[in-house]
Chain A
Amino acid sequence: MEMDLLHRFEAYIASDKKIEPKDWMPDAYRKTLIRQISQHAHSEIVGMLPEGSWISRAPSLKRKAILMAKVQDEAGHGLYLYSACETLGVQRDDTIEDLHSGKAKYSSIFNYPTLNWADIGAIGWLVDGAAIMNQVPLCKCSYGPYARAMVRVCKEESFHQRQGFQIMMTMAGGTEEQKEMAQDALNRWWWPSLMMFGPPDDDSPNSAQSMAWNIKRFTNDELRQKFVDLTVPQAELLGLTVPDPNLRWNEETGHYEIGEIDWSEFKRVISGDGPCNKERIETRRKAWDDGAWVREAAVAHSQKRADRRASTDTAAA
């Protein structure tokens, strides 16, 4: 029986059919998805923090409205993903507890600080840009609920990148000081953005299995290369310099070559020792704890209403 089920699963994967929540799936496939989707959800939620802190300091009402809409979208992305994760049989509260206890990871990029308004531009342009690059292939991922959540997410992401690029364009074309701020933001966000694609292929042990299961469609290095090829000309258009002395265009391959990525920094930040790791988790925990009474009150309120309805029903009968 188990064998039949495994054959059916493998046949589905081979013919690029979606796996749906009630279909049988190997334990390892389920675990990989739970880990990936929950990390993805946590990244959306924690990702609200670096930008959220600039909503009240946005330079104009228009920018403020745009940034609020973007941050609200990220909250939505987190919720679509938590829901997709739950279809695999995990409880929402457990997933969130794993984030708060430090057991679950989230994208290391959100452990860097947002020092000034130019960072909001750089995040939209580079961080959302890299996220889009990662997420577009996930729209075709073999797990139905994850793929469907990604379709929604990708539809909403494109304005995120554009608003960021527009901020960069405004600043790069502004006063000398504003241009310096834009360059400084690019200097700080460039390398962490390249790290968002994950470790290099020869140091990414789980990638091959994820590719075989059609969860992943491109390797980390392939996606990183695509991002570099697309983004370097955009930096040139802005009149800004990519902070990589070894960056060069390779005429033969038709791709850019980049310098060495500092993977020790990546490992340090992902394992908890980045500039803002502690602050991010503390903020999340505080929000959860401070909201406890709201969650309890809502349950009490709905119970009271249900009881009242029940008693009027009895009275009517």
Chain B
Amino acid sequence: MEKKNWPLWEIFIRSRQGLSHRHVGSLHAADAAMAVENARDVYTRRQEGASIWVVPASAITASSPDEKSVLFDPADDKVYRHPTFYDLPDEIKHM
């Protein structure tokens, strides 16, 4: 059997106007136009979409899980970035 895997595309859908596009899954297609058409059939059969983005999976650069602590741990000890860190006098109801 001859193998000609069509490239893989990652699919992002805006479910309705006002929301951002969200990753919903992936699919194979020969080119971008076909990826959009296939994404319509595969991921929006029940009015789930107002807009579709397709991105070649090979174009995505992802952070490595091994770097998780290097990248994200520094945020752990910066509680002062959250409003709950600050005590306010009881008299102040809204701030």
Contacts and interface: CB of A to CB of B under 8 A. Distances in A.
Interface of A: 20, 22-24, 69, 72-73, 76, 79-80, 83-84, 86, 91-93, 97, 100, 148-149, 152, 156, 292, 295-296, 298-299, 301-302, 305-306
Contact of B5 (A92, A298, A305): A92
A301 B29 CA distance: 12
B30 A299 contact: yes
A301 B30 contact: yes
Contacts of A305: 31
B65 A20 contact: yes
A302 B31 contact: yes
Given A298-B30, A301-B30, A302-B31, A83 B2 contact: no
B34 A298 contact: yes
Interface string B4-17: 11101000000000
Contact of A93 (B3, B62, B64): B3
Given A83-B26, A301-B30, A295 B45 contact: no
Interface residues of B, number: 21
Given A20-B65, A24-B65, A76 B45 contact: yes
Contacts of B28: 92
A298 B62 CA distance: 29
B1 interface: yes
> Chain B contact residues: over half helix, strand or loop, or mixed?
loop
A298 B65 contact: no
B1 A23 contact: no
B42 A295 contact: no
Contacts of A298: 6, 30-31, 34
A69 B41 CA distance: 11
Contacts of B45: 69, 72-73, 76, 156
Interface string B39-68: 001100110000000000000001011000
Contacts of B46: 156
Nearest to A285: B1
A100 B5 CA distance: 16
Contacts of B2: 292
B62 A22 contact: yes
B27 A79 contact: yes
Please provide the 8 A-B residue pairs with the shortest distance between their CB atoms, ordered closest to farther. Answer: A302-B31, A298-B30, A302-B30, A83-B26, A93-B3, A23-B65, A22-B65, A299-B30
